[in-house]
Structure 1
Amino acid sequence: MLSPHEFATLMLVKNAPDQLGLDRAELDILLEHQLVALETLPSGQQRPQITSDGVSVLKAVTRFG
């Protein structure tokens, strides 16, 4: 089960990945659960992006909300 902070971070990754710092503890949990992956940009920087599993989790949560 994800915490409210982890759900919020997952929503941020989906909607505003460039505004999210990679040093967030919640991001580590999402990476561990494979709900988020790190994309390497041509500049060499990394940016989080939501995985298909992450999208499924968000869809499931919005159905119950």
Structure 2
Amino acid sequence: MLSPHEFATLMLIKNAPDQIELDRAELDTLLERQLISLESLTSGRPRPHVTSDGDSILKAITRIR
């Protein structure tokens, strides 16, 4: 089960990936659970990206509300 902070971080990555700070502790959990991945930009800075599993979780959350 994800914490509220991890859910919020997953939503932020989905909607505004360039706004997330990469030193957030929640990123480690999301990476471990393969809910996000890091893609390398040409600038050399990694950018978080929601995986299909992460997207499925976000869709399930919106159906529950």
Alignment partner, residue 23 of structure 2? 23
Segments of 4+ moved more than 4 angstroms: none
Q: Distance in 2 between matches of 1:57 and 1:20?
A: 19
Matches within 5 A, 1:42-61: 42-61=42-61
Say what the alpha-carbon RMSD is for the aligned residues: 0.5
2:50 maps to amino acid: I
Where structure 1 has 5 or more consecutive residues not aligned to the other structure, the ranges are none
Alignment partner, residue 5 of structure 1? 5
How far apart are residue 51 of structure 1 and its match?
0.4
- Superposed CA deviations along residues 5-61 of structure 1, whole A, max 9, x for unmatched, are 000000000000000011000111000000000010011110101000000000011
The TM-score normalised by the length of structure 1 is 0.97
Q: How many correspondences in the alignment?
A: 65
Q: Distance in 1 between matches of 2:28 and 2:18?
A: 16
Where structure 2 has 5 or more consecutive residues not aligned to the other structure, the ranges are none
